[in-house]
Amino acid sequence: MMSTALKIGTAGVPIPAIRRGPRVVRVALAGCGTVGGELVRLLHQGADEIRARHGLRFELVRVLVAHGERPRPGELDRALLTTDVDTFLATDADIVVEAIGGLDPALRIARATLAAGRRLVTANKALVAAHGPELAEMALRHRGRLDFESAVMGGVPVIRALREPLSLTGIRSIRGILNGTTNYILSRLEDGWTFPAALAEAQARGFAEADPSRDLSGEDAADKVRILAWLAFGADPERLEVRRRGLGDRAERLAHAAGALGGVARLVAEAARLPEGVVVSVEPVLVGAASELGRTRDEENAVVIESEWNGRVRLSGPGAGGAPTASALLGDMVRSAVCHRAPADGGTPSIPDRRPHAWAIAVERGQLPEAALRATLDRVDVEVHRIARGKGVSVMRTQPTPWPRIGLAVRALEGQGLAPAVLRVGE
Ligand code: HSE
């Protein structure tokens, strides 16, 4: 009798059914913290689905960590751990996944991986913002691959949207919330929390960077918007001039100022193409509570991409946290990517943003009479439209003014012993 494992060939001859096992892909993972640890768990828990859907079995063959003794996920075989970068790089792996962050030793790992024609998947926004074009070029030259979906907006596929050559053409601007930690903090402040409590909770939930000052200063969002500007406009991310103002130590004042003007504060990143070049900013912006960005709360990220041919495309979702970021890393691991060309001749020029906006400048209430505040701004040619009063703050809403003059106003107020917090007035 014929076995069910056999089929009848065209000549009536039974041929054995080919039982294809999953293709084994050897993975070396650098970093086993919030994101790397979550990836280890996901590879374990998702193994059946990955095999069924993609015919792959990812096999972890080495894991580089900074601290050999720290607790790791139970799914991880501790024999794979190494703290030595050379040992890690000598490992024979098909894919290197980098989730350690920072430039050292991430850049060394990236260069060595791509120079060997291997595939690199990285969640490292600082690395891609500083060296993306160089690494993409290396990947092309050595027939390797570079993927970094998880570096921007965590689990939201914004990189894919911009990398697909036909999906978005004629992009004019990209604007949105690219940092989960600061958005989480601003949301909690709206709920009446204090700043230290909100920051501590953002850290406990695994949203914040190892050094949270990168979140608070806007550096994290600046790295991400540089990457988006590179992909959208061909601008060299490293050479982009970014007007960056974070929450600093004035988050509570910003939130109260926004409340006094009937809106909410958001840390907004923007890259826009003007006829002369690309302008890029990361700064606190006053938006309506019911607006698209105002409704983006907690660690959620949201971005609006305006393009000539495709109108407004909106993407939103979990922007920070181990699980969404690890999920995006895994997506990169199973996806074939189209490598990016490096920007030719330095790419589109970067120019300072001198477009006029309305601004809200908040100072502690009662320190100076309102007439004196108006007079100070008047001296640097900034016209105050109105002054609102909120929880402990006086907020001057200006007429449309280019940023450099607002910078002068800030310095003039600081010269009078005040600590102004500035929101751009947005939607
Ligand atoms: N610290 C980052 C954030 C993590 O808060 O958005 C995700 O990149």
Are both 141 and 173 inside the same structural domain?
A: no
Q: Are 142 and 170 in contact (CB under 8 A)?
A: no
Q: Domain containing 315: what range?
A: 158-319
In this prediction the pTM is 0.86
Q: Residue 80: what residue type?
A: L
Are both 56 and 30 inside the same structural domain?
A: yes
Residue 12: pLDDT band with limits 50, 70, 90: low
Residue 92 tokens read as 């024979």
Active site residues: 224
Are both 102 and 199 inside the same structural domain?
A: no
CATH of the domain at 403: 3.30.70.600
Question: Per the structure, how many domains does the chain have?
Answer: 3
| Residue 332, in any domain of the structure | no
Q: Are 219 and 244 in contact (CB under 8 A)?
A: yes
SS3 219: helix
CA 322 – ligand 1 centroid, Å: 10
Kindly state if the Cβ of 27 falls inside 6 Å of ligand 1: no
Residue 171 tokens read as 């992009």
Q: Which of 128, 147, 166 is the last residue before a domain boundary?
A: 147
The whole-chain average pLDDT of the chain stands at: 91
Closest residue by Cα to atom 4, ligand 1, is: 320
Task: Give pLDDT tens digits for 189-218.
Answer: 999 999 999 999 999 999 999 899 999 999
Task: Give pLDDT tens digits for 110-143.
Answer: 999 999 999 999 999 999 999 999 999 999 999 8
H/E segment holding residue 383: none
Q: Which ligand 1 atom lies nearest to the CA of residue 301?
A: 6
Q: Which of 302, 319, 336 is the last residue before a domain boundary?
A: 319
The predicted structure's pLDDT at residue 200: 97
Residue in this structure with the two tokens 């965590």, named with its chain if needed: 154
Residue in this structure with the two tokens 């590879």, named with its chain if needed: 43
H/E segment holding residue 299: none
The predicted structure's pLDDT at residue 38: 97
